[in-house]
């Protein structure tokens, strides 16, 4: 199947395939939409079943980045890199840096799944068009945005400002989830956690008062809030009928398996806070740094995610539609007004 025939191809401006013979690197970079001549999005390294799966992923992720950037108020468009395989080497990372540098600034990259801050340092040897690194993590601000989204959802669903006493099931114990658990603990929430990584679970259990749950059961806990903080596609026709939480709000990208799952959540009466709206803390940090914003200004913009989520939820209620559809409508209006 060709690129233009892919169901996730939605007027993408550039889709480029790369193979570095010496290092063995295979990567795809998709620029969905540029604003002011630039687009931004992370580098994801995964084991894909084949090239078609990787292409589908990069097309969907890059489009989601355009919408995320719009809802975050960033003056750049959306893009993404996927690297086929997780067998890293310095040679591969440096080759990727040279590839990114070849876009001459119209694509700015950052971290995503499978890429560490240390990897970013190696990529930076070959290009200045990448942000992040060990001293520039976006996880704390991403977690703060998730927490603000939870506050907005709790206010709408339960008519209360605080998460005190709320039960939250967190799927995944990675860096963002780690910082999210801090906010939940400070708020007085009760936490259930699951992860396939035993070291991550031990770290969480040592630092926080959490209940460890089987990863196969975490989505279906009888809790107030479900926070998907692992890989995407977990909200689908098989899982949604069995979810008991009233609110779904987490940091994982592409939580909905298909667009139809937004309507399915609505029919079940589950309040889903769209992932690309609530997990925008990372792009707010990245684009803020590029624009020269200070730490206080960046944090204030992340805290505004609370009000953005309120607008999305209110629009969905007023129009009797899913929250993802409501967010898409708001984002598309912003995108149409943005300079190319």
Give residue-wise pLDDT tens across range 18-60: 999 999 999 999 999 999 999 999 999 999 999 999 999 999 9
As a whole number, mean pLDDT of residues 280-286 equals 91
Whole-number average pLDDT of the chain: 94
Q: How far is CA 286 from CA 105, 215, 293, in A?
A: 14, 32, 10
Ordered strands of the 167-171 beta sheet: 210-212, 190-194, 167-171, 225-228, 247-248, 271-272
Q: How far is CA 320 from CA 150, 270, 314, 315, 316, in A?
A: 21, 13, 10, 8, 6
Q: Yes or no: say if 168 and 191 are a contact pair by the CB < 8 Å rule.
A: yes
**Catalytic entry in 7, 68, 80, 315:** 80
Tens of pLDDT along 301-327?
999 999 999 999 999 999 999 999 999
Picking from 11, 19, 41, 43, the residue whose alpha carbon sits closest to that of residue 107 is: 41
Which residue matches tokens 């600034």? 105
The percent helix, strand, coil of the chain (3-state, each to 5) is 45, 20, 35
Give 99's contacts (C-beta < 8 A, 6+ positions apart).
Answer: 18, 20, 27, 29
Tens of pLDDT along 196-205?
999 999 999 9
Tens of pLDDT along 92-121?
999 999 999 999 999 999 988 889 889 999
Residue 89 confidence (pLDDT): 97
Picking from 102, 96, 61, the residue whose alpha carbon sits closest to that of residue 78 is: 61
Count of CA atoms in the C-beta half-sphere (13 A) of 183: 23
Task: Indicate if 80 belongs to the active site.
Answer: yes
Inform me whether the pLDDT recorded for 136 exceeds 80.
Answer: no
What whole-number percentage of the chain has pLDDT above 70?
Answer: 99
Inform me whether the pLDDT recorded for 73 exceeds 80.
Answer: yes
Inform me whether the pLDDT recorded for 290 exceeds 90.
Answer: no
- Give the Cβ contact number of residue 201 at 10 Å: 18
As a whole number, mean pLDDT of residues 160-189 equals 96
Of 79 and 291, the one with more pLDDT: 79
Tens of pLDDT along 211-234?
999 999 999 999 999 999 998 899
Which residue matches tokens 């590839």? 99
As a whole number, mean pLDDT of residues 137-157 equals 94
How far is the C-alpha of 26 from the C-alpha of 266, rounded, in Å? Answer: 39
Inform me whether the pLDDT recorded for 135 exceeds 90.
Answer: no
Angle at 230 (CA atoms; ends 275, 134), nearest 5 degrees: 95
How far is the C-alpha of 143 from the C-alpha of 227, rounded, in Å? Answer: 11
Q: Which domains does the chain possess?
A: 3-123 (3.40.50.10860), 139-335 (3.40.50.720)
Tell me the whole-structure pTM to 2 decimals.
0.89
Residue 112 confidence (pLDDT): 87
């Amino acid at each position: 199947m060709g690129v233009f025939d892919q169901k996730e191809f939605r007027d993408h401006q550039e889709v480029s395939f790369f193979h570095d013979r010496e290092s063995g690197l295979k990567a795809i970079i998709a620029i969905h939409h540029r604003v002011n001549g630039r687009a931004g999005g992370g580098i994801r390294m995964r084991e894909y079943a084949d090239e078609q799966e990787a292409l589908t992923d990069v097309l969907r992720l890059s489009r989601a980045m355009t919408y995320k950037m719009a809802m975050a108020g960033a003056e750049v468009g959306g893009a993404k890199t996927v690297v086929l395989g997780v067998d890293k080497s310095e040679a591969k990372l440096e080759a990727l840096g040279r590839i990114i540098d070849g876009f001459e600034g119209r694509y700015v990259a950052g971290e995503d799944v499978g890429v560490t801050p240390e990897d970013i340092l190696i990529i930076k040897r070959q290009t200045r068009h990448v942000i992040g690194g060990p001293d520039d993590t976006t996880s704390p601000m991403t977690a703060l945005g998730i927490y603000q989204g939870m506050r907005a959802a709790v206010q709408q669903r339960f008519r209360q400002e605080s998460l005190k006493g709320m039960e939250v099931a967190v799927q995944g114990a990675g860096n963002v989830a780690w910082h999210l658990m801090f906010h939940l603990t400070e708020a007085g929430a009760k936490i259930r956690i699951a992860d396939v990584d035993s070291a991550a679970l031990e770290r969480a259990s040592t630092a926080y008062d959490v209940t460890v749950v089987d990863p196969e059961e975490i989505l279906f806990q009888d809790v107030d809030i479900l926070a998907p903080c692992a890989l995407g596609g977990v909200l689908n026709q098989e899982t949604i009928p069995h979810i008991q939480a009233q609110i779904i709000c987490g940091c994982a990208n592409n939580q909905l398996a298909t667009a139809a799952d937004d309507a399915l959540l609505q029919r079940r009466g589950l309040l889903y806070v769209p992932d690309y709206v609530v997990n925008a803390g990372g792009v707010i940090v990245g684009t803020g740094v590029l624009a020269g914003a200070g730490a206080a200004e960046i944090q204030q913009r992340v805290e505004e995610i609370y009000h953005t989520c309120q607008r999305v939820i209110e629009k969905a209620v007023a129009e009797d539609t899913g929250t993802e559809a409501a967010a898409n409508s708001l984002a598309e209006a912003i995108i149409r007004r943005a300079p190319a």
